[in-house]
Amino acid sequence: MGIDPNFDGNRERVGEENGLDVWGPVDRPEKLGIHGAHVAVDYDVCIADGACLEDCPVDVFDWVDTPGHPESDRKVEPTREDQCIDCMLCVDICPVDAIDVDASRS
């Protein structure tokens, strides 16, 4: 199952990490929640294949280490979500539907 497109209404904002909103639940290292708002990545779904990072035309994403997470030991973080041009390439290319882009959450 991919990211919940209504996570900002269905989940509680539990804090901030690296300047990004984090939506729970979070229980490290197994549960990491959703990171970002305009460009949101569900860290619990992300398998870190890197396609979004490699193909993003404006370099929104960076790698972050997530040791001990059951899906992967690193994730793509929407570090520069404010530079997103809403092309939706990352959404289309993600093999597990871990990314959501929504301009209304900017």
Burial class of residue 77 in the structure, from the number of CB atoms within 10 Å of its CB (0-12 exposed, 13-18 middle, 19+ buried) = buried
What span, in angstroms and rounded, lies between the C-alpha atoms of 95 and 105?
23
The reply, when asked if residue 83 is annotated as ligand binding, is no
The reply, when asked if residue 90 is annotated as ligand binding, is yes
The reply, when asked if residue 56 is annotated as ligand binding, is yes
Burial class of residue 5 in the structure, from the number of CB atoms within 10 Å of its CB (0-12 exposed, 13-18 middle, 19+ buried) = middle
The reply, when asked if residue 94 is annotated as ligand binding, is yes
Residues 6+ apart with CB under 8 A from 27: none
Q: Which residues are annotated as a binding site?
A: 35, 46, 52, 56, 84, 87, 90, 94
Q: Which residues are annotated as a binding site for Zn(2+)?
A: 35
Q: Which residues are annotated as a binding site for [4Fe-4S] cluster?
A: 56, 84, 87, 90
Q: Which residues are annotated as a binding site for [3Fe-4S] cluster?
A: 46, 52, 94
